[in-house]
A and B are shown apart, each in its own frame.
Chain A
Amino acid sequence: MAHLSLTVNGRAVQRDVAPQTLLSEFIREGLHLTGTHIGCDTGQCGACTVHVNGRAVKSCSMLATQAAGAAVTTIEGVAKADGTLHPMQTSFNQCHGLQCGFCTPGMVMSAIDLVTHHDCSSEAKIREGLEGNMCRCTGYQNIVKAVAQAAAATKAMA
């Protein structure tokens, strides 16, 4: 077992974990934060995306111990403590950017990274930026719309 110390959604966490534990497993089974979903075995679907030190990471592609000392944010940590939704969450609701909701946490985490660190000035750029997250329900159109709306709102605030 390896001793792991990190911050998850703003709270300090200390646990002993088996060294082969994936970050996704640690989040779901160790911390019972089940909003991070597992949709494939090959790092393709993106449903497990979380933020590690502010950048989007597919948590199935990283060992938990690699997150030692890091600040991890999962979908449960995105809204404010008082329940106020993040602008990206609001935008997904307003644009009908989700249906079954299974890919949604990973999609939202990727989308927040996308508008924060990447160019979202065109539909084509947003589509390219979402390439690592699969959705089978929406056909992506309303997800793209939601991201564009949130990007515009973010830009307006800056």
Chain B
Amino acid sequence: MPNGERRGMDYTIKIGGEAGQGIQTIGETLARVFSRAGYHVFTHQDYESRVRGGHNFFQIRFSDKPVTASRTYIDILVAFDEESIPLHQHEIRDNGIIIYDASSLGRKHEQDHFLDVPFIELAEQHGNKIMANTVAVGAVLGMLRLQRDLFDGIIRETFSKKGEDIVRQNIGAAASGFDFALRNCPKCSFVPSSFGPPMMLISGIEGIALGAVASGCKFYSAYPMTPSTGIMNYIAGKEKEYGIVVEQAEDEIAAINMALGASFAGVRAMTGTAGGGFALMAEGLSLAGMTETPVVIALGQRPAPATGLPTRTEQGDLLFAIFTAHGEFPRVVFAPGTPEQAFYLTNKAFDLAEKFQIPALVIFDQYLADTEWTYDRFDLTKIRFRDYRLRGDALRSISRYKRHAFTETGVSDFGILGDSEHLIVTDSDEHDEEGHIIEDAETRVKMVEKRLLKKLPLIRREITPPTLYGSGEPDILFVCWGSLYGIVREVVAMLSEGRKTAMLHFSEIYPFPDAFDHRALLETAKVVISVEQNATGQFSRLLRAETGYAFNHMINKYDGRPFTVEQLLSEADAIISRV
């Protein structure tokens, strides 16, 4: 399988180069062309923690069937630096082509799987060498024999603000790259399938941010930290339209405390960070627990400890997310596996945070944040929005108000400051029903019961069990969580042709799903493999603590890079062939 098997149309393009060369822009533009053509698209990125230089790449896979992960093998390598060639040429499939600009790389490659396109020269002919990237996108489309209209439309949208001249120059530059590749690449034998209706193209980080906006998030405070910053950027772009305040805090401690202040005052509030910033938020998380103040926290895991590999990926903070912060209080922890799950689970996090007056965490990683997926559409009827606060007349009409009143469910009415003469009082100290400091044992016990023990079973009832994909009676069962969904799913699909194979994917992780009726699957499958992107198998430990089940086989990866389908397949094959 040196070149990877392929069914139907399934192409991969990799764009490699230094930071600052526009790799990401080219990648995103091509992905947009493909999604508008109606193809299924999957993209992922690999970049260093620097603004200029180094080696980065952007990988795009597109197909006429759904794709949920990257392949190891590539059909077109766009090399913007010389380093891209030795680093990636072993990934080139038979009939694959490396496209580059010999004049800018300072070296001509004579083998016939190289295509030299003078990106800069063609750009200069149309007005400015700055359009070299436009030429490159045009050239890739030419290699694919994919009509240019969609790209022209994108150029128009991107540059219309800069005037008709710039639009025309870019369209000219795109056409010259396109025509050059069309004429000069006799080896190009790509056969794209016909166009379908446009697909929605969305990344994981956009899924979270859009989910927040669609949930009525009104306040977002954060300190910038990769890979969470995209949430702040997206929501800030919607401030005016939706009436949202985004405040860049001086540190993560301020970020969570501001969010709690805003939530206490009656608006839906969220913060986001990575592991290091979340460590600083621990006390504030506990404050949310004690004061029963709803808050949603997006936690982007990255390889740690400490600063670790800032721009890379890992699932190393699961137990940290579940167990951090002093004291005992309820929380929910979700780990979406796709941009679509990110959208719906962020919404569910807001709903449960408000319903039970608790902190709700959405944890993700750089891989999910940056990967783009395509969908027909998101179903907005599945979005939950219910205002649980006691506002205006509803608050005014009650005779006596106590912020932390004892109730059957443990949930007390949350009134709005200033809406009535009732006072809203809360305290980080243990408090009575009104919210005032107490020391007595009896009230303490009743408060723990109210805040934690009464709510817990009700929260657990809201948790959806894991998703089973593949055979209902698998011989081979993969168990994974969070961002591994897409990769494991493709591996399961490939293995399913030979044996009964399935994936059990957890996205609503804590409280651990109550209706865990998959225990039988774990017992009856011949091979059960846990796959995690961390060194110690954190989910495996959680599953064992919650169910008593221990995995015999684990695949762990902790190099900061995502699995490709082929890598996981070969590791799984090694286990399966031993059993």
Q: Do A and B bind each other?
A: no
Q: Which residues of A contact B (CB under 8 A)?
A: none
User: B residues near A, CB below 8 A?
Assistant: none
